Amino acid sequence: MRIHFIQHEVFEAPGAYLAWAEKQQHEVTFSHVYRQDHLPEQIDSIDVLIIMGGPQSPDSSQIEYPYFDAKAEIAFIRRCINAGKAVVGICLGAQLIGEALSATYEHSPQKEIGVFPIMLTAEGIQDSKIAHFGSPIPVGHWHSDMPGLSPESKILASSVGCPRQIVRYTNLVYGFQCHMELTPEVVRLLIAAEEDLFLQSQSLQFVQSPDEIQAYNYSEMNSKLHTFLDLLEGAYARSLVNT
C-alpha cells in the first residue's frame, strides 16, 4: 500500500499513523505543508491519504498562514475521495474532509486538550472498523473545532465536550476529531507549541496541564488505531477487487 501524509505543522506529527505504515512496510510519502511542499499532481500513486491536524481552520487565509492553501487541499481531498481512495483526516484534516463533501465545519462546544474519554454511538458500535475501540475509551484531544456533517455521514463517537469525535463519511472515508496517534514525542511537540497551556488548564474544564498530559500511557489507543487502519486497508483492498 502507498500511504501519503499531508502534514501542516512539524508539531502535528503523524505519530502512531506513521508507526503503523512503517510496521506494515508500506510506501510512505509526505506533503510537508509547513515547508511549502506542493500537493501531488497525480493521485494514482496514492492508496491511503492521511491528513493531519494543525492550528488552522478550513477558512484560514493565506495572510494568516502563507503556506496553507485550504481551497487547494479541499479540492485535492475531493479528488481522492471521488477516485475511491481510503481517506482519514485528523482534527483539521477531518474538518477539511467535511468541507470537501460540502459539510461546513463548526466550533466545538468545548475546547479539549489532553486525554478524555469518547463514547461510541449506536452507529459506532455497529461499525466493524471501530467497534473494537470499546466504550468509553480514553483518547487524545487538541482542538476547539469539529468537522461538518454531510447527509450521508454518521457520527460514530462523541465526548462530553464535543459531539463529533469520529465521523464516517463513507466506507473508506473517516474523520477523527480526536488524536489517537499521540505518542510521548508528539505530545512534547504539541505542548511546546501551545501557549499558556498550564494557565488554560486552570480555567477550562477540558484542558489538562502539561504534567497530566505527559504522564499518560498512549500505547493502548495507538494499538486500537492500528487495528482500525488494518481494517480500513482491508476494506480498500476489497474495493479494488470489486471495481
DSSP letters spanning 49-87: EEE---S--TT--TTT-TT--HHHHHHHHHHHHHTT-EE
Cα gap 201→141, rounded to integer Å:
13
Question: Which pLDDT tens digit goes with each residue over 151-163?
Answer: 999 999 999 999 9
Domains and CATH numbers, the chain: 2-228 (3.40.50.880)
User: In the numeric block, which cell numbers belong to residue 238?
Assistant: 476489497
User: What is the predicted pLDDT for the residue at 170?
Assistant: 98
pLDDT at 139: 98
Give residue 32's pLDDT. 98
Is the CB of residue 129 less than 8 Å from the CB of residue 231? yes
The partner residues of 5 in beta bridges, in order of sequence, read 30, 50
- Stretches where the chain sits below pLDDT 50 are none
Per-residue pLDDT, 128: 98
In the prediction, which pLDDT does 220 show? 97
For the chain, how many helices (H) and strands (E)? 8, 9
pLDDT in tens, 165-191: 999 999 999 999 999 999 999 999 999
Task: Assess contact for 179 and 129: CB atoms under 8 A.
Answer: no
- pTM flag (> 0.95): yes
